[in-house]
Amino acid sequence: MPVVDSAWEEWLRTNVGRGCSMDSMIDSMVQAGFAADTARMAVRNAFGVQPANGATEAALPQSAPQTYQYDDPPVARGNVIRAHDRDVRVLMRCERPQVIVFADVLSPEECGELIERSRHRLKRSTTVNPATGKEDVIRNRTSEGIWFQRGEDAFIERMERRISSLMSWPVENGEGLQILHYGMTGEYRPHFDYFPPDQPGSAVHTAQGGQRVATLVIYLNDVADGGETIFPEAGLSVAATQGGAVYFRYMNGQRQLDPLTLHGGAPVLGGEKWIMTKWMRERAYG
């Protein structure tokens, strides 16, 4: 169960300032895994609404707002980017949050090879426990996955060099490539990829390599229906198209974290979904 940490407090402040309705904010938090009562209390506190009938509610810690400052992302400009050994087309750029949609990151043959390498090695996916930093299986994430070690063979090394070039971030700062498979109705409810600084378990993960700074999700197959990557706060939905990818950056040069990068994997409504994910860290990882 998620907690109302500093990232969520910033998300609440940002959306109050944007004029979002209480109901829409409560719905977004419930979709992200919060209990309805917890979401309702957090949103009421953010709007400064006092409890009715003399009831008492725990107020959110009041800290000075620190609005996320959007600086230039490291990804190259232009509509076609030379990524190591392949030309990648840019389909869309979004400024707030910083999201870029690509086509042709992988060839159909490369997508097929990654799927076949992974099919018989899948295990139920986990998420980071905010209190302990351990990996837990949760109902909000209904996928199976495997990890490739960084540079484990020539094929994986080539993929990593291409991705590193596209993201304009050092290969050695990347976590290993993760392959995920979602069957019918499989989903990953809205969440953040960075490690919330005020959660005790985050220190376990940031001790090596520092904070995550950006993500690249590559689609290994066409999904017949559903399975989009959704950004609820941006009103943005990216369809899963083989060889395409979505990049999003959530840490700027001041080490601020962007609460608008709340994102999720919509339920698969037809067929199955295979994706490959690369997370980049501040410093060398592994």
232-248 pLDDT, tens digit per residue, is 999 999 999 999 999 99
Per-residue pLDDT band at 66 (split at 50, 70, 90): low
Predicted confidence at residue 86, as pLDDT, reads 98
176-196 pLDDT, tens digit per residue, is 999 999 999 999 999 999 999
The contacts of residue 82 (CB under 8 Å, 6+ apart) are 88, 165
Predicted confidence at residue 134, as pLDDT, reads 53
Predicted confidence at residue 47, as pLDDT, reads 83
Question: Does pLDDT of 30 surpass 90?
Answer: no
| Distance (Å) of CA 232 to CA 43, 85, 152, 192, 227 | 16, 34, 36, 12, 14
Question: Does pLDDT of 55 surpass 50?
Answer: no
Higher local confidence (pLDDT), 192 or 12: 192
Higher local confidence (pLDDT), 90 or 36: 90
Question: Does pLDDT of 85 surpass 50?
Answer: yes
Per-residue pLDDT band at 140 (split at 50, 70, 90): low
Higher local confidence (pLDDT), 232 or 135: 232
Q: Is 272 exposed, middle or buried (0-12, 13-18, 19+ CB in 10 A)?
A: middle
Question: Does pLDDT of 132 surpass 90?
Answer: no
Predicted confidence at residue 113, as pLDDT, reads 98
Q: How far apart are CA 103 and CA 122, in angstroms?
A: 26
Residue whose tokens read 């999904």: 223
Question: Does pLDDT of 197 surpass 50?
Answer: yes
- Cβ contact 271:223 at 8 Å: yes
Question: Does pLDDT of 54 surpass 60?
Answer: no
Q: What is the mean pLDDT of the chain?
A: 88
Q: How far apart are CA 144 and CA 132, in angstroms?
A: 22
143-166 pLDDT, tens digit per residue, is 799 999 999 999 999 999 999 999
Which residues on neighbouring strands pair with residue 93, listed in sequence order? Answer: 100
DSSP-assigned letter for residue 283:
S
How many Cα neighbours within 13 Å face the side chain of 128? 18
